[in-house]
């Protein structure tokens, strides 16, 4: 089977461009990437025809020299499907923009919590190490250290409260209706950071 | 009899049109159509399954083109079983969602969109089960996916759009990979028809065969959520409405497993990538169940157990003996029903307790004994407690592993045992936290919260579920039999002391279906064994499509 190299090269380039675009965050870029990569793959499907032949039905071309119509049918189907998906993605990007002001795909909430927790714990370990490494401690330094630790603990606790709130059926139900959940907010000022997620 | 084969796809598709045309005005008519069509599909599927068991595979060549040319639809034993189980599950979920929709006053489930999308989903799933060539399999996948996009982002709330983006992008990527695989297969063999591929693929160089096999397996593994490709699932499923999550968890992943079974047996016999499959099966089981152990959110937890138990089926496919295929097919049927009923129960728990968070739930065994039973039976079934079908499925797979006797098989048997025990642990944890212990103090507050919100929000007068005379009682938990619904920043929050009957009945139906697998285990294992034999011999399928 002979194949047009230019068709293949175009397909590869399109897939590469689309692939890179699909790895980005904003939904519109992902959409563009999907469209471009989709076109590349359609070309790939077309190139599976082999060497191009004559059009069927017209001019009484012998059957052996007719182009294989099946890849074209597959490509057409794929184009229609890409159209539907593109329309849906566009709607979703716009809805995301309406809701959050940006069309970026946000991280999984739990991922973010795990990340925050790891960050806080790391910071605390660093602080402790720094404190222990210093030989002489003045009263002031000790107070500063204690204050830092309190700050970190407050962050963790706020995060835990956020987590508990996020898990409720209504999302921000506790925060919106009760203001704060008494169980999680004992000895702690309410920290609203990240509540939008 | 052969003329019946396309109907499980055609009926829901036509009904979608009718539903869209009349749905906006006649919501009741729309519901009637959905239920009637899905019942008809269930009856058809049972007929097809019995016919395929008696006479061998049934095939239809659409447009009467000669076999390798036109569109071929084939229903053999495996397809028949999958169709039957899937339509039974979709019917029960539909009834459940009807119950929920009525109780929620249609705030979360806009009726006009839900029913057509659901019917299209059913059509897509049916098409993948009866597709006789790669291209139609692709089309079936896409029909199913587009419908699932709509269902997953139903209502367009923030969390759903966020979770939906992940799902849509992953699905897009996997369909692109699928299309590439089809293009490569076609370029190499000049056909996309399964039966013809089965004859032509063995002539290809080994490298090309393995490449095509690996690409197809990757696509189906993304769909089936096998471990390294499963990260999207626990992220995107739990935010959808309960019935949608239930049907997705039950069916969509199993469509991937079905495709794996079909292609591994029909197109790539000889099990070249068996070890790889077993390795990912082990990883899915262990990683999935450990994820579930760490979770306290019920829906998320069930999503992780879903990933974990996919591993069992992949184990069966990786072993590739007749016993193993039989076990895997049995397990698929069992898993579809049990996983769906667990998600349905999760929806009921959310309704009853106001949350899916285990640390906030409690005392349900006393306040909702029926719910406790509805959870307990599928949970024990899922964990594989002896008389139930989960045990039979796991036993079948492990027996196949032991009789295979290779090192990987033994490792997998050990892994499967550990997973099963950990599943039991997880289920016991849910039981203890949500049902067994006494109510945590926070729970009573739900009635208060919702009552206040409801009174301030309600501008349409008393809803259909409100009992007159109980409306102005102020604070305190909601009285029995009453639905309290409120909207907070566009999110509907509903809690009832007693869920609508349709929801409970549908859940009970799914649970009973799971129990039926236990009672009918003898005939069913015989059936799965016959269908495994049919898959391995390949001749009935190829001869039915291409002629003897």
| pLDDT tens-digit readout, A121-135 | 888 888 888 777 776
B516 in Cβ contact with B340 (< 8 Å): no
- Alpha carbon separation from B303 to B122, B153, B225, B295, B390 (Å, rounded): 21, 17, 10, 10, 18
B355 in Cβ contact with A168 (< 8 Å): yes
Q: Is A187 exposed, middle or buried (0-12, 13-18, 19+ CB in 10 A)?
A: exposed
Tell me how crowded residue B386 is: count the other CB atoms within 10 A of its CB: 10
CA–CA separation, B72 and B130 (whole Å):
9
Q: Measured between CA atoms, how close is A48 to chain B, in angstroms? A: 4
Largest CA distance in chain B: 78
Radius of gyration (C-alpha) of chain B in whole angstroms: 23
Element housing B400 (H / E): helix B389-404
What is the predicted pLDDT for the residue at A135? 67
Closest Cα in chain B to A182: B442
**Contact criterion met (CB < 8 Å) for B192 and A74:** yes
What is the predicted pLDDT for the residue at A165? 53
Nearest to B397 by CA among B281, B319, B289: B319
What is the predicted pLDDT for the residue at A36? 94
CA atoms within 13 A on the CB side of B328: 33
Question: Which of B150, B157, B183 comes nearest A45 by C-beta?
Answer: B183
Q: Which residue has the higher pLDDT, B534 or A117?
A: B534
The dihedral through the CA atoms of A15, A17, A18, A23 has a sign that is positive
**Contact criterion met (CB < 8 Å) for A172 and B488:** yes
CA–CA separation, B263 and B246 (whole Å):
26
A43 CB within 8 Å of a chain B CB: no
Q: Tokens 């204050």 map to which residue?
A: A147
B364 Cβ contact list (under 8 Å, min separation 6): B349, B352, B353, B371, B372, B434, B435
What is the predicted pLDDT for the residue at B102? 57
Q: Tokens 């039999």 map to which residue?
A: B481
Closest Cα in chain B to A171: B491
**Contact criterion met (CB < 8 Å) for B176 and A41:** yes
For A23-69, where are the alpha helices, taking DSSP H only?
Answer: 27-47
CA–CA separation, B236 and B163 (whole Å):
4
A77 CB within 8 Å of a chain B CB: yes
Q: Which residues in A lie closer than 8 A to residue B447 (C-beta atoms)? A: none
The residues of chain B scoring below 70 in pLDDT are 23-24, 102-112, 440-498
What is the predicted pLDDT for the residue at B2? 83
**Contact criterion met (CB < 8 Å) for A176 and B153:** no
What is the predicted pLDDT for the residue at B295? 85
Beta bridge partner(s), residue B312 = none
pLDDT in tens, A63-107: 777 888 888 889 999 999 999 999 999 998 888 888 877 777 777
CA–CA separation, B199 and B525 (whole Å):
30
CA–CA separation, B8 and B85 (whole Å):
13
CA–CA separation, A19 and B198 (whole Å):
32
B89 Cβ contact list (under 8 Å, min separation 6): B247, B250, B251, B336, B337, B340, B510, B513
ipTM for this prediction? 0.80
A45 CB within 8 Å of a chain B CB: yes
Q: Which residues in A lie closer than 8 A to residue B190 (C-beta atoms)? A: 68
Q: Which residues in B lie closer than 8 A to residue A42 (C-beta atoms)? A: 179
Q: Tokens 């849910």 map to which residue?
A: B430
B100 in Cβ contact with B501 (< 8 Å): no
Retrieve residue B66's tokens: 């000669």
**Contact criterion met (CB < 8 Å) for A169 and B354:** yes
**Contact criterion met (CB < 8 Å) for A45 and B359:** no
As a whole number of Å, the end-to-end CA separation of chain B is: 19
CA–CA separation, B8 and B58 (whole Å):
14
Beta bridge partner(s), residue B487 = B492
Q: Tokens 């209504």 map to which residue?
A: A170
A96 CB within 8 Å of a chain B CB: yes
Beta bridge partner(s), residue B297 = B357
Q: Measured between CA atoms, how close is B180 to chain A, in angstroms? A: 6
Retrieve residue A196's tokens: 């939008």
Query: Which B-chain residues 329-358 have CB contacts (< 8 A) with chain A?
Result: 350, 354-357
Closest Cα in chain B to A170: B493
B183 CB within 8 Å of a chain A CB: yes
pLDDT in tens, B379-433: 999 998 888 999 999 999 999 999 988 898 999 999 999 999 999 999 999 999 8
Closest Cα in chain B to A101: B158
Tell me how crowded residue B27 is: count the other CB atoms within 10 A of its CB: 16
Q: Measured between CA atoms, how close is A25 to chain B, in angstroms? A: 11
CA–CA separation, B332 and B90 (whole Å):
15
Question: Which of A47, A73, A169 comes nearest B350 by C-beta?
Answer: A169
What is the predicted pLDDT for the residue at B440? 65
A38 CB within 8 Å of a chain B CB: yes
Query: Which A-chain residues 118-177 have CB contacts (< 8 A) with chain B?
Result: 164, 167-173, 176-177
CA–CA separation, B226 and B257 (whole Å):
9
Q: Measured between CA atoms, how close is B257 to chain A, in angstroms? A: 23
Question: Which of A73, A96, A110 comes nearest B161 by C-beta?
Answer: A96
Nearest to B248 by CA among B32, B86, B17, B378: B86
């Amino acid at each position: 089977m002979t194949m047009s190299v230019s068709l293949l090269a175009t397909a590869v380039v399109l897939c590469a461009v689309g692939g890179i675009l699909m790895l980005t965050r904003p939904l519109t870029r992902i959409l563009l990437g999907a469209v471009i990569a989709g076109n590349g793959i359609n070309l790939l499907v077309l190139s599976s025809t082999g060497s191009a032949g004559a059009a069927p039905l017209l001019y009484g071309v012998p059957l052996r020299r007719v182009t294989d119509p099946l890849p074209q049918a597959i490509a057409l189907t794929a184009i229609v499907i890409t159209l539907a998906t593109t329309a849906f993605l566009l709607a979703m990007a716009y809805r995301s923009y309406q809701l959050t002001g940006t069309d970026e795909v946000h991280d999984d909430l739990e991922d973010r919590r795990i990340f925050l927790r790891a960050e806080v714990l790391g910071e605390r370990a660093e602080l402790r190490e720094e404190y222990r490494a210093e030989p002489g401690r003045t009263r002031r330094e000790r107070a500063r250290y204690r204050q830092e630790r309190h700050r970190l603990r407050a962050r963790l606790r706020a995060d835990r409260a956020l987590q508990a709130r996020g898990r409720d059926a209504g999302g921000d139900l506790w925060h919106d209706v009760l203001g704060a959940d008494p169980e999680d907010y004992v000895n702690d000022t309410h920290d609203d950071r990240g509540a939008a997620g | 009899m052969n003329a019946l084969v396309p109907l499980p796809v055609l009926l829901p598709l036509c009904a979608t049109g009718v539903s869209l045309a009349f749905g906006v005005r006649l919501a009741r008519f729309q519901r009637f159509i959905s239920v009637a069509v899905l019942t008809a599909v269930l009856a058809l599927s049972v007929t097809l399954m019995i016919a395929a068991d008696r006479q061998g595979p049934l095939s239809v060549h659409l447009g009467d083109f000669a076999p390798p040319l036109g569109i071929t639809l084939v229903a053999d034993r495996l397809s028949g079983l999958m169709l039957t189980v899937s339509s039974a599950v979709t019917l029960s979920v539909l009834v459940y969602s009807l119950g929920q929709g009525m109780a929620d006053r249609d705030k979360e489930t806009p009726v006009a969109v839900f029913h057509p999308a659901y019917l299209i989903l059913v059509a897509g799933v049916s098409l993948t089960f009866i597709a006789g060539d790669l291209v139609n399999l692709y089309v079936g996948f896409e029909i199913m996916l587009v419908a699932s996009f709509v269902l997953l982002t139903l209502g367009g709330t923030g969390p759903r759009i966020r979770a939906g983006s992940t799902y849509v992008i992953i699905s897009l990527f996997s369909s692109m990979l699928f299309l590439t695989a089809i293009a490569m297969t076609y370029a190499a063999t000049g056909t996309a028809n399964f039966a013809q591929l089965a004859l032509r693929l063995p002539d290809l160089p080994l490298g090309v065969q393995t490449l095509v096999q690996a690409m197809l397996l990757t696509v189906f593994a993304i769909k089936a959520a096998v471990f390294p490709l499963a990260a999207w699932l626990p992220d995107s499923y739990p935010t959808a409405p309960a019935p949608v999550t239930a049907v997705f968890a039950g069916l969509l992943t199993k469509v991937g497993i079905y495709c794996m079974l079909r292609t591994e047996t029909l197109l790539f016999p000889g099990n070249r990538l068996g070890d790889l499959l077993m390795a990912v099966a082990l990883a899915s089981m262990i990683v999935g169940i450990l994820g579930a152990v760490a979770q306290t959110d019920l829906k998320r937890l069930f999503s992780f157990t879903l990933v974990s138990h996919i591993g069992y089926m992949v184990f069966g496919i990786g072993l590739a003996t007749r016993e193993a295929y039989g076990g895997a097919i049995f397990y698929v049927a069992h898993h579809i029903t049990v996983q769906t009923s667990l998600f349905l129960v999760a929806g009921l728990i959310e309704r009853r307790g106001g949350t899916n968070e285990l640390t906030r739930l409690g005392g349900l065994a006393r306040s909702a004994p029926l719910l406790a039973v509805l959870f307990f039976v599928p949970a024990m079934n899922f964990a594989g407690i002896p008389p139930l079908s989960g045990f039979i499925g796991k036993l079948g797979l492990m027996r196949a592993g032991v009789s295979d006797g290779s090192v990987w098989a033994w490792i997998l048997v050990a892994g499967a045992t550990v997973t099963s025990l950990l599943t039991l642990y997880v289920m016991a944890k849910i039981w203890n936290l949500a049902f067994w212990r006494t109510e945590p103090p926070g729970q009573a507050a739900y009635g208060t919260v919702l009552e206040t919100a409801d009174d301030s929000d309600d501008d349409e007068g008393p809803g259909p579920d409100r009992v007159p005379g109980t409306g102005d009682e102020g604070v305190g938990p909601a009285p029995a039999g009453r639905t309290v619904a409120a909207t907070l920043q566009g999110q509907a929050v509903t809690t009832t002391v007693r869920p609508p009957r349709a929801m409970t009945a549908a859940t009970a139906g799914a649970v009973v279906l799971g129990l039926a697998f236990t009672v009918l285990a003898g005939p069913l294992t015989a059936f799965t064994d016959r269908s495994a034999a049919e898959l391995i011999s390949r001749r009935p399928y190829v001869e039915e499509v291409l002629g003897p």
